[in-house]
Amino acid sequence: MKKILCVVLCIVLGICLVSCGCEKSEENNVNETQADTAGNISEFVLTDSVVEEVLILEVGDAEIIKIDGISEEQMEKVNWSSKDESVATVDDAGRVDAIKEGVTSIIIENDESKIECNVRVVANEESELQYSTALTANHSVLENNIKNYDGSQMLYSIKVNRQENCVTVYTYDQNGEYTIPVRAMICSSGEDGGTITGNFSIYYKADWNPLFGDVYGKYVSGFSGDYLFHSVPYFYAESDTLEVEEYNKLGTSASMGCIRMAVADTKWIYDNCDVGTDVEVYDDAEPGPLGRPESMHITDLTNGWDPTDDDPKNPYNSKKPVISGAKDLEIKKGEEINLLENVTAIDTCSNDITAKVRVKGRVYNNKPGTYTISYIATDAMYRTDRVDVTVTVV
């Protein structure tokens, strides 16, 4: 979603109290309540203004034109309409939904005056299927380092927090020091302190590598003797033979000494961290500057695939979170409404993530009209489900 700053709108009550903020709003409030404002409803005046390209949305996206600092009674006097509903629609709370590429205007008016907020809808940038649960940051610094990379030093440095089972990757700053965290990944270090601590470097790589116990690791990067970054063990060197119970231990100390990670993360190190990349293993109560990512348990113990594996044959490729129980509602004016009642969600691996469901949209239960509400749930792999419903106040 792309935005530019919105023009300021004024409520003339002696001071400026209202701004037109085309801002992202994901709210779980059961009813929208606005702050009371001194003055009569007749004093609520929108400053006449026509603005250009206030809001830029991608097809399928939605944003709320927010008006702060007015009472519900005043909101009941605000009317919203779109000049071209084939391009973008607007509901009775100022939520704009982008329908197709083009330009339209959202008209905001009351009995005293009106203004227009222009909207441009652009093509939707299709998002790639996500795999890793990693936390990432400082993208612009990393992109600049990659663009200007001359091979004079390693692009990355890896730090493994054995105590918190978290791996953080750094790139270098303008002084050539590895101080910029770019990626954090959950792992399993050795049980009972079985992973060595100290400073090492990557010296060896293999797609598949035999491990102790007649099992195999995928996307292996060795950093000291038999100590390796590798996937959770597989019974065979085949991608559908994962030891599922061991996968569900990620985030705890569970290995014989190696650093186990999800396939997407071992593959990232395998693909991006060259031989010679520094590795530090240490203990600390804080996982690292980016924090520690979530783990995602596999609920189907008969499915021997790592859900983060980007192999085209992986059955998890066709899965994503699923929201249930969201439906169109009709309420009477003034009736209380709990938008999250009976709404549940599961993640890519069918774990309950109901607590992650967010509501995007607003309902003014004292203002008869039609309101569009989106339920959105994003899991630890950044895969998302969205369900749109209509709430009608009569």
* Residue 61 neighbours by CB distance under 10 Å: 18
Residue 370 has pLDDT above 60, yes or no: yes
> Beta strand pairing status for 204-211 and 198-201?
unpaired
What strand order describes the sheet that includes 204-211? Answer: 204-211, 215-224, 227-231, 259-261
Residue 171 has which token pair? Answer: 């790139």
Q: What is the CATH number of domain 20-126+321-393?
A: 2.60.40.10
- On average, the pLDDT of the chain sits at 87
Dihedral in degrees, nearest 10, Cα atoms 311, 316, 320, 323: 180
DSSP-derived secondary structure letter, 278: E
Q: Alpha-carbon distance 99 to 36, whole Å?
A: 34
Domain with CATH 2.60.40.10 in the chain: 20-126+321-393
Using alpha carbons, select from 118, 133, 64, 130 the residue that is nearest to residue 371. 64
pLDDT (tens digit per residue) in 135-174: 999 999 999 999 999 999 999 999 999 999 999 999 999 9
With 0-12 / 13-18 / 19 or more C-beta atoms within 10 angstroms meaning exposed / middle / buried, residue 312 is exposed
Residue 227 has which token pair? Answer: 């100590």
Residue 110's pLDDT is what? 83
Contact 394, 332 (CB under 8 A): yes
Residue 12's pLDDT is what? 30
CATH architecture for residues 135-282: Beta Barrel (2.40)
Residue 323 has which token pair? Answer: 């929201």
Residue 65's pLDDT is what? 84
pLDDT (tens digit per residue) in 274-329: 999 999 999 999 999 999 999 999 999 999 999 999 999 999 999 999 999 999 99
C-alpha atoms less than 13 angstroms from C-alpha of 12 in its C-beta half-sphere: 8
Please give the average per-residue pLDDT across 363-389, as a whole number: 95
Residue with tokens 């396939």, as numbered in its chain: 263
Residue 297's pLDDT is what? 96
pLDDT (tens digit per residue) in 35-68: 332 333 334 566 555 555 578 999 999 998 877 6
Residue 166's pLDDT is what? 98
| Distance between first and last Cα of the chain | 33
Residue 160 has which token pair? Answer: 């493994």
Residue with tokens 């007015």, as numbered in its chain: 70
* Residue 327 neighbours by CB distance under 10 Å: 10
Containing 140, the helix (H) or strand (E) segment is helix 139-147
Domain with CATH 2.40.440.10 in the chain: 135-282
Q: Alpha-carbon distance 360 to 385, whole Å?
A: 13
Q: Alpha-carbon distance 229 to 279, whole Å?
A: 10
Contact 267, 311 (CB under 8 A): no
Residue 68's pLDDT is what? 67
